[in-house]
Amino acid sequence: MDDWTVGIDTVLCDLDGVVWLAHQPIAGSVEAIEMLRASGRRVLFVTNNSAATLADHEQALAVVGIPARGDVVSSAMAVTQLVQPGDRVLVAAGPGVAEAVEQAGAEAVINTGQALSDPVDVVVVGMHRDFDYDRLAVAASAARSCGRLIGTNTDSTYPTPEGLLPGGGSILAAVASASGVDPVIAGKPHQPLAALVASLVATAQHPFTPERVVMVGDRPETDGLFATRLGCRFGLVRSGVTAAGHVIEGETNIDLDVVDLAEVARRLVG
């Protein structure tokens, strides 16, 4: 066992490509989480999936046998750090973002593709499957007018059992290109979600200690850089976007490079 694994007491675990593919559990992932928790380690699910509400995330995990109440943190939740109470927010995203906007004390205006009768203060873009040309036109126009554009994440794709599908980052790229407004990003690997995760991991007795945390994910450019921002270790799994044998480019530090979450659990628990 590598020395650094001994002190790990918190595992930050991505969902898509690590725990499941389109809510179908990856072999051994459910048992791996059970093993990690049985060893006394906390498992916190950190996902860039902003479409689902918090309750939907927790319910989907419960269906596959993973209790997760209070243990899910999404990029939608990080949006609360970027909008102000009283803001009128155009939500070009899923229900998870609308929920977060309202929890921040702002007004969520759902982008239906119909022209807005009143201006908005900010536009938030995330994954939503009903995105079309009319919704693009409204979101781009609103972002151009208010000058504020927030993206839940920049992930251009997400993994499914059938392969990669377009992600929320692809939608954000379209709105940013059409509006000419540079977006601020809420999710991994950016600071809003990092600050939120650090605050949730910390307790009154134990401040956030990066040396005791590992981030497990399938994207070096997202999960790996998120680990770097937090100052914690990074475990790359090859069960999602990053395929087995794919050569990693760039300077992302990878502390563990294994096939799947089950192997991560074996390395940590021993």
- CATH number at 111 reads 3.40.50.1000
Among the candidates 185, 214, 245, a domain finishes at 185
Q: Do 248 and 225 contact (CB within 8 A), yes or no?
A: no
pLDDT tier at 135 (50, 70, 90 boundaries)? very high
Q: Is the pLDDT of residue 163 over 50?
A: yes
pLDDT tier at 243 (50, 70, 90 boundaries)? confident
Residue 176 in any domain: the answer is yes
pLDDT tier at 1 (50, 70, 90 boundaries)? very low
Radius of gyration of the chain from Cα atoms? 18
pLDDT tier at 266 (50, 70, 90 boundaries)? very high
Residue 230 in any domain: the answer is yes
Q: How, if at all, do strands 20-21 and 24-25 pair?
A: antiparallel
**One domain for residues 84 and 179:** yes
Q: Do 216 and 11 contact (CB within 8 A), yes or no?
A: yes
**One domain for residues 89 and 173:** yes
**One domain for residues 98 and 173:** yes
Query: Looking at the chain, which runs of residues are DSSP E strands?
Result: 10-13, 20-21, 24-25, 42-47, 72-74, 88-92, 107-110, 122-125, 149-151, 157-160, 163-166, 184-185, 213-217, 233-237, 256-258
User: Which of the 8 DSSP states describes residue 16?
Assistant: B
**One domain for residues 110 and 146:** yes
**One domain for residues 62 and 89:** no
Q: Is the pLDDT of residue 124 over 60?
A: yes
**One domain for residues 142 and 225:** no
Residue 249 in any domain: the answer is no
Rounded-to-10 torsion of CA 254, 258, 263, 268: -20
Residue 258 in any domain: the answer is no
pLDDT tier at 247 (50, 70, 90 boundaries)? confident
Residue 243 in any domain: the answer is no
Q: How many domains does the chain have?
A: 2
Residue 99 in any domain: the answer is yes
**One domain for residues 84 and 172:** yes
**One domain for residues 67 and 145:** no
**One domain for residues 168 and 94:** yes
C-alpha 132: how far from chain center: 23
Residue 227 in any domain: the answer is yes
Q: Which domain holds residue 34?
A: 3-15+25-76+189-235
Q: Is the pLDDT of residue 2 over 70?
A: no
Q: What is the pLDDT of residue 72?
A: 98
- Helix (H) or strand (E) holding 139, with range, is helix 133-146
**One domain for residues 123 and 172:** yes
Q: Which of 66-70, 163-167, 205-209 has the lowest mean pLDDT?
A: 205-209
Task: Indicate which residues carry an active-site annotation.
Answer: 14, 16
Q: What is the pLDDT of residue 251?
A: 79
Global pTM value = 0.93
Percent of the chain with pLDDT over 90: 90
| Close Cβ partners of 215 (under 8 Å, ≥ 6 residues apart) | 12, 14, 46, 223, 224, 226, 227, 230, 232, 233, 234, 235
**One domain for residues 198 and 113:** no
Residue 147 in any domain: the answer is yes
Average pLDDT for 139-156: 97
**One domain for residues 90 and 50:** no
